[in-house]
Structure 1
Amino acid sequence: MPSITPLPGTCAPDAVDAWHATVVRAHRHDLPGVPEPHRAETAARMRVPAPRSEQVLLRSAAPAFAGVAAVRLFTDPANREVARLCRLTVDPEHRRRGHGVALLAAVRATCEAAGRRTVTALVDADGPGAAFGRAHGFHLALPLTGYVLDLPDVVPPADAAAPGAGPDQAAELPPGHTLTTWDGPVPPRHAAAFAEVRRAMAQAPTGRRAERPPDWDVAAVRELATVCRRRGQSLRTVAIIAPDGAVAAYTEVVLPTSDAPRARQSDTGVAPAHRGRGLGRAVQWHMVRLLRAHHPELRQLVAVVADENAPARAVAAALGYRVERRLGLFEARVEDLPAAPGTAGRAG
């Protein structure tokens, strides 16, 4: 079995270059037609862990960086026994030589050392990652779909043709409701209300899976913005404020770099008491207007939606999103993953 070596969190530039080269070669092979990640985005993810997490980076030793893996170890109480396999990538030229299994065995050892019992992974449902995962202990826990919105081609849907309903004007709002936007951290006057609606959105469909949504308090909301800033990303939020000061609806977009052609819709939510009034679509139309006005370099906005989340899928269709690829959140018991030779457990 190939040897696996951990990487320090403060990765040297040459290590980032080698890691990114492996990622790009695999991306071009597995996802032709999908824009590849920018090096700056790869470096940011390698050096700055996700919110409320620690991170372990692994690579094949010989050939160096023939395969790479990133493991997220959650630190929030609800996910203390869960890890996320954020990446397991093998260079196409070095596949079927044991690098993937060796990396997965190292992931198992990492999880066991951290007291994790379950590991999850987001992969393309029809790609080699899904087949590899199923062959080594993973099962599909939550079907998802990746959507893309071509920003230059966006036009208002037929049922939003009234003045103010398209992407270049804010949709009409219920009386007393107002639109607001911010970049980076939530303003203090909206922090508590924003955390409250985020907690409510934790009830969105998640399937039967071990990984639980974060406990969205004010500190967690602010930490997300801090992580984006440390990664060199821009976090932009559009929200609708109800007359009582509650956040009735919101949408967030992450711009990975200043010149990236794609932005990622991080989250969209409508408070339970305000659903059924078109507010989810309103905040997203307003976000499209802002992105087109202030970020002309952006060509596409991407989003991932659970297949069972019918309201979110309906909004995506109304805005003009198209399906790009099928995804899945896969899950495995750590004890079912391949074990390194000479250790207890099932051999890979």
Structure 2
Amino acid sequence: MQVTDFDPSQASDAQLSQWREVLNAMTEADMPGEPRWQLDQLRDYLSVTMPGEHRYAFVARENDAADSRIIGHANLLLLADDFDDTGVFEIFVHPGARGHGVGRTLLREVARRAAVEGRGTIGVEVIATTPAVDFYDRLGFSRAVVENRHLLAMDRVDWDAVSANAGRVAAGYRLEYHHDGLPDGLLERYAAIKATLKAEPATNIGAWRGSADVQRLRDSLETLKARGLRSHLVVAINEPTGAVVGLTELVVAAQRPTRGDQYDTVVAPEHGSYGLGLAMKARMLTELREHEPQLRDVQTWTAIDGDPHAHVDAELGFRNDVQWYEYETVVSDVLYRLN
């Protein structure tokens, strides 16, 4: 087995196909109900990052020959700004290559690169029903966050009820829908509510997605588009003041076009009694029905110790199906254990 650096922007189409084959084989073995990855804009998805961030990738091959098949791969994303001491990574090993140290070798490369880049910690997301749980438990990773993943099957949506909820907007408010970006006049107001709510413990649940200033928000939306992720945004506006008082975000990836990924949903506390959360998420579903007719389901996450929008998800028909763990470890510690 040989592990080498991998540059997706320069990789051949055949190499990208092998990368995808490993991921889809692992998905088939461990998560058969999950959508398979496609090649559409896969190169962009693996290559493009936010300004200030950097992604390193590695592949494991069967032997030392340059043209031998890829049997595993990993990537490490070095975050920026408030998270410049950490990195997040992923490791995927073909089921047929398990038990031969491929995962450990890839993790060692990830940790070494993180150390070279001066990162103190690294983290990874793991689905609770997969063999990855035992892998990271044995290597001393700690579970920093445990979340419930919920799925909504689009063919089981009560569209009459959803349409009614989307129209139940209290007097003095209006909803706006935008896709693949925001008009310039809305960017500052949109970022302002995120900056305010970022400091609210009751709303800062899970991984905050870091678009709480205008430039970073603009960069975030442009990066999503460049990576092949179509953004869908619904905002609640207080008409007397013009302020954005609520928002919900969702993306659909060209690489997995049958699934929608819910991002942040937030409502300013002083406007939380007007049913805006339900109205916004219902409006989102009606827009997805029109703009993303190929969608089979939508996934979202809630914290196990409570979430202000859990009742909204339940009313719309989301159902809990599995837990997700966010593992983390100190880089020097995992290198010691691996060596």
TM-score (norm 1): 0.88
Write the distance in 1 (CA, Å) between the matches of 2:34 and 2:208. 29
SS at match of 2:32: coil
Amino acid at match of 1:82: T
Residues 1:141 and 2:132 aligned together = no
Distance 2:166 2:333 in 1: 51
In structure 2, the residue matched to 1:300 is: 297
> Per-residue deviation at 1:79?
0.8
Match of 2:274 among 273, 277, 291: 277
Residue 109 of structure 1, CA deviation: 0.5
Give a deviation string over 1:49-80, Cα, whole Å, max 9, x none. Answer: 2565210001113344211101110122x111
3-state DSSP of counterpart to 2:295: coil
Aligned mates of 1:296, 1:168 — CA distance in 2: 20
- 1:77-98 deviation line (CA, Å, top 9, x unaligned): x11110001x201100000101
Q: Given the superposition, is the C-alpha separation of residues 9 and 297 from structure 1 closer, same or farther in structure 2, using an over 3 Å criterion? A: closer
User: Does the aligned pair in 2 maintain the 1:307–1:313 contact within 8 Å?
Assistant: no
Mean CA deviation greater in 44-53 or 97-106: 44-53
Residue 317 of structure 2 corresponds to 320
Contact between 1:168 and 1:286, CA under 8 Å: does it hold in 2?
Answer: no
Equivalent residue for 1:332? Answer: 329
Q: Following the alignment from structure 1 to structure 2, what is the Cα–Cα distance between the partners of residues 41 and 23?
A: 16
State the distance in 2 between where 1:54 and 1:269 align. 28
Q: Are the equivalent residues in 1 in contact too, given 2:249–2:262 (CA < 8 A)?
A: yes
Report whether the alignment pairs 1:219 with 2:254.
no
> In structure 2, how many angstroms separate the alpha carbons of the residues matched to 1:67 and 1:296?
33
Sequence identity percentage: 25
Contact 1:178–1:242 (CA under 8 A) maintained in structure 2: yes
> Hey, what's the Cα distance between the residues in 1 that align with 2:136 and 2:122?
11
Contact 2:237/2:246, CA 8 A, preserved across alignment: yes
Structure-1 separation of matches of 2:256 and 2:243:
34
* One-letter code aligned to 1:128: P
Secondary structure at the counterpart of residue 39 of structure 1: coil
Residue 289 (str. 1) matches residue 292 (str. 2): no
Alignment partner of 1:95 is 2:98 = yes
Would the aligned equivalents of 1:55 and 1:72 in 2 still touch at CA under 8 Å? yes
Answer with 321-330 or 194-203: which moved more.
194-203
- Look up the match of 1:68: 73
Q: Which stretches in structure 1 are left out of the alignment for 5+ residues? A: 340-344
User: Paired residue for 2:227, among 225, 231, 238?
Assistant: 231
Distance 1:5 1:238 in 2: 43
Measure how far apart 1:120 and its partner are: 1.0
For the 8 Å contact 2:38–2:256, the answer to whether it is kept is: no
2:85 matches 1:81: yes
Report the Cα distance in structure 2 between the residues aligned to 1:183 and 1:146, rounded to whole angstroms: 24
* Matched residue, 1:175: 171
The 2-side partners of 1:169 and 1:346 are apart by 53
Q: For 2:106 and 2:2, how far apart are their aligned partners in 1?
A: 9
Deviation for aligned residue 1:293: 2.5
Is 1:152 paired with 2:155? yes
The CA deviation at 1:168 is: 5.9
The one of 106, 109, 118 equivalent to 1:106 is: 109
Aligned counterpart for 1:192 among listed residues 188, 192, 197: 188
2:34 pairs with 1:34: yes
1:8 and 2:12 equivalent?
Answer: no
User: Residue 197 of structure 2 contacts residue 204 of structure 2 at CA under 8 Å; is this kept in 1?
Assistant: no
State the partner residue of 2:45: 45
- Kept in 2: contact 1:235–1:255 (CA 8 A): yes
Check the 8 A contact 1:136/1:336 in 2, yes or no.
no
Gaps of 5+ in 2: 64-68
Give the aligned length.
Answer: 329
Structure 1 outlier segments of 4+, above 4 Å? none
Output the amino acid matched with 1:144. E
Compute the displacement of 1:9 (Å).
Answer: 4.3
- 8 A contact 1:20–1:39 mirrored in 2: yes
The 2-side partners of 1:277 and 1:289 are apart by: 20
The answer to which of 144-153 and 94-103 deviates more is 144-153
Residue 74 of structure 1 aligns to which amino acid in structure 2? L
Q: Are the equivalent residues in 2 in contact too, given 1:169–1:289 (CA < 8 A)?
A: no
Q: Classify 1:35/1:9 alpha carbon distance in 2 versus 1 (closer, same or farther; 3 Å).
A: closer
Which residue pairs with 2:66 in the alignment?
Answer: none
State the shift of 1:258 in Å. Answer: 9.1
